[in-house]
Amino acid sequence: MSTLSFLMVLLVALLHLGFLVLEMFLWDKPTGRKVFRLTAEQAAATKVLAANQGLYNGFLAAGLVWGLVMSEPSIQGFFLACVAVAGIFGAATVNKRIFVVQALPALVALAVLLSRSPIA
């Protein structure tokens, strides 16, 4: 695995850890409301849903870290593909910005990973 592949996968994992923090712990705080452009009422009404979403982002990050620790491109590729699909779906159904923030980094990391080490 190349250093670039490692760093790209790590970046996506760190992004998803950040999403976990935002969605599980900061959703109804000023920072979370600003990032997600929510009113206090909207944040309060959707807090439990956001926490669930944050947990899923944590699982994606854990899978990516697992792939890095195991130095296993197939695990990394699987979780990057999951992130990309989730980002594309989010962009299609919620907000186009999700593609840039979530799907695009995962797709770039997947392209780098595939160019450096073919997944068996």
How far apart are alpha carbons 28 and 76 in whole angstroms? 32
Write the secondary structure of 26-88 as one string of H (helix), E (strand) and C (coil).
CCCCHHHHHHHCCCHHHHHHHHHHHHHHHHHHHHHHHHHHHHHHCCCHHHHHHHHHHHHHHHH
- Residue 38 gets which letter from DSSP? -
Token couple for 101: 């923030």
Which domain does 34 fall in, by range?
A: 3-116
Q: What is the pLDDT of residues 64-111, one digit of tens each?
A: 999 999 999 999 999 999 999 999 999 999 999 999 999 999 999 999
CA-based nearest residue to 67, from 105, 15, 119: 119
In total, how many domains does the chain have? 1
In this predicted model, what pLDDT tens digit does every residue of 11-26 receive, in sequence order? 999 999 999 999 999 9
What is the pTM assigned to this prediction?
0.91
8 vs 99: CA distance, rounded Å: 17
